[in-house]
Amino acid sequence: MTIRFSILFLSIFAISFTAQSAEPLLGEGKEEKTDSCLFREGEDGYDLWLRYARVENESLLKLYRERLKKITLNPSTPTLQAVKSELLIALDGMLAIEPEFIDSGYQSSGVVIGLPEKFPDINVHVSKEELNLLGNEGFIIRETKDKSLIVTANTDIGLLYGVFRLLNTIQQEQALSEINIIEAPKTKIRILNHWDNLDRNVERGYAGFSLWDWFRLPDVIHQRYIDYARANASIGINGTVLTNVNANAQILTPVYLEKVAALADAFRPYGLKVYLTARFSAPIDLGKLPVADPLDPQVQEWWNKKVEEIYTYVPDFGGFLVKANSEGQPGPQDYKRSHAEGANMLADAVAPHGGIVMWRAFVYDQNVPEDRTKQAYNEFKPLDGVFRDNVIVQVKNGPLDFQPREPFHPLFGALEESNLMMEFQITQEYLGFSTHLVYLAPLFEECLQADTHAKGQGTTVAKSIDGSLHGQKLTGIAGVSNIGTDRNWTGHPFGQANWYAFGRMAWDPYLASERIADEWIKMTFTKDPAFVKPVTEMMLNSREACVNYMTPLGLHHIMARGHHHGPGPWVSGGRPDWTALYYHRANTDSIGFNRTSSGSNATGQYFKPVAEIFDDINTCPEEYLLWFHRVPWDYKMKSGNTLWNEMALHYQKGVEDVRNMQKTWNFMESFIDKERFMYVKSLLQIQEREAVWWRNSCLLYFQTFSNMPLPEGVEESYKPLEFYLKINEIYMPGHH
């Protein structure tokens, strides 16, 4: 594997930083052939979807080798040096060749990678109109009439994305003949939010500690940082927020900005821009000012100077992510100012440098409202059109807090004059942490394809965040990262699929979950259909299984207090909207939160006819029934069952679905490496046990109100309710 180490040296030397780590490059490992696939002995998941396993189709292998033996590429910039490095790694792994690179000159029947301005012959095969469609990040991959294969774009970053797309095509063993791909991202900001603290603990992180080794930065640039950037670039992620939204102002001090600059330098060749969280009280915490009032001239001047200082360290600094006046965080409302006044003050500071401000709409304060799900809409809708052009309001997918299932947030479609971006959670705070296999693309897709009816039928959530609904220019999707120092990056091997799916759907919010799963499986495990088909089906069903064994029929926020691991429908005491009772409101008559026009009227925040559908118990989708309605235990469901029986059967089905996942996985042993197979098998055992825990706890508890027997087919609990009430897991990973 000498070539891989020479590639590593070439890449790092050219980009001018030093790697001091024992981490191997993605794709490193000993290969071992089995009857059904090619995998490396002792794989641990570090390679992610960039394994670059050997192409097995002999006819395609021959064609690939012939096509890619000569590549025209002028590695004149750090990004193009990264492109060359990636090609060497990938083609060594997939084709066992080291291509000949030519710096200049268009070659027929070869591969040409470059900008039209550097290779004028490309203009014969690509029109100006097509190039105009690409923007700064899009690309074209095309076989020409003279049988050359061109990868072109308007920028080096576009070329990088195009090469990753080409390698993705080879990984899936798709033909290159007559290939014609024109792609550009549909959103501008595609960003990971790391909830990482400066002590390297990660809030809601279930895959080890923070990647950022602040103690050894800026001197030590781990190879893992480079591989992190490569993985993100391969799926089109172009930004990373390094620090927790519950921000620490110390990140804005020179000692830390020097460290941030080192990470930014490492990420820059891969198109990955660095952002930071801004603690709103930083002028007090660091500047010793008496206030942080956004309308105070001294405060404005402090932020202007601080921003100028940041840009001296990181010239392409992306800007700030801000959590303000929520869960005890300081903000403009401390001074009777609006969210817009706070956001605009920071936006004015970063605007001269091209920076942006992502202002989170996840807000609730010390005053418990009548319905917490209404608060973001109530606070932000009146501010529509008041935010600066470089402010983008970051809204969670649902109106509560990353539950296994929520209706889409009513702000989607409602903010017509303000920039709006999605916030998804990739880490599984409420979905079993990194011990449960829950493929999140169906959740993302369910939200993105929900119809807001903001401008009639077909105005989906996706259209409200890609700018096609109201014409916003600044668009984006954020994902709360599930990445940590675990060798496999995400704790659960299938957690990698959620990182991958987020990147793919941030690039194109209209992609289907099934297609993404198929891609990921083929690149991560094997292309054998006997593995791909059943595992794809298992993944696609996994999120619904989780909903069933946790929160069926619109139940929500019934997890244990604080760490949110395991069931806690009995949680009470303290702040009401931090309890389960606030949300399910069960008594001997009924269960559910009345958010209809006769209750909190949260349904009124949606456009017609969505509001009318949710408001009427007869038309409300049953998956949201208890979210919007208070329902008697003996209410007759569409199936003919009573609500109680339907709920119990859903809990049972969730358990059975996990058991079916176990059966599916047990048949996969011969297709992949033993290490990953056994690890997933062990995690599925935990998931089955915890699904039973959820089912038993919730049904025993709610049965004290319904006073109804379990229906036929639902297993009885082997422990009494008192047993589950006593479970108190204090030391959980990611505990906030």
Contact 593, 603 (CB under 8 A): no
Q: How far is CA 400 from CA 393, 397, 550, 583, 598, in A?
A: 16, 9, 16, 11, 20
According to DSSP, residue 366 is labeled S
Q: Is 401 a catalytic residue?
A: yes
Q: Does 185 sit behind a cis peptide bond, omega within 30 degrees of 0 on the bond before it?
A: no
Of the candidates 132, 192, 187, 139, which has an alpha carbon nearest to the alpha carbon of residue 469? Answer: 187
Q: Which of 173, 327, 384, 577 is catalytic?
A: 327
Among 338, 313, 314, 344, smallest CA distance to 325 is for 338
Retrieve residue 733's tokens.
């990973």
Question: How many C-alpha atoms does 421 have within 13 Å on its Cβ side?
Answer: 30
Q: Which of 495, 426, 394, 452 is nearest to 187 (CA)?
A: 394
Tell me the residue type at 11.
S
Q: What is the CA radius of gyration of the chain?
A: 26
Farthest-apart Cα atoms in the chain, separation: 80
Residue 23 falls in the annotated catalytic set:
no
CA distances 301 to 42, 305, 307, 351, Å, are 56, 6, 10, 14
Closest CA to 291 of 339, 257, 248, 342: 342
Q: Which helix (H) or strand (E) holds 505?
A: helix 495-507
Choosing from 43, 227, 429, 690, which is the catalytic residue?
429
DSSP state of 25: P
**Is 429 designated active site?**
yes
Q: CA-CA distance, 550 to 208, in Å (whole number)? A: 25
Q: What distance in Å separates the CA atoms of residue 424 and residue 409, rounded to the nearest whole number?
A: 12
List CB contacts of 496: < 8 A, sequence separation 6 or more: 45, 48, 49, 488, 489, 490, 520, 524
Residue 174 is classified by DSSP as -
DSSP type of residue 736: -
Q: Report the half-sphere exposure of 273 (CA within 13 A, side-chain side).
A: 18
Catalytic option among 44, 56, 301, 401:
401
Q: Which residue in 508, 515, 482 sits closest to 496, CA to CA?
A: 482
| Residue 167 tokens, joined | 């390698």
Please list the helix, strand and coil fractions of the chain in percent, rounded to the nearest 5, in that order. Answer: 40, 10, 45
Q: Are strands 180-183 and 139-143 parallel, antiparallel or unpaired?
A: antiparallel
**Cβ atoms of residues 36 and 65 within 8 Å:** no
Burial of 50 (0-12, 13-18, 19+ CB in 10 A): buried
Interatomic CA distance for residues 309 and 720, integer angstroms = 61
Active-site residues: which are they? 327, 401, 429
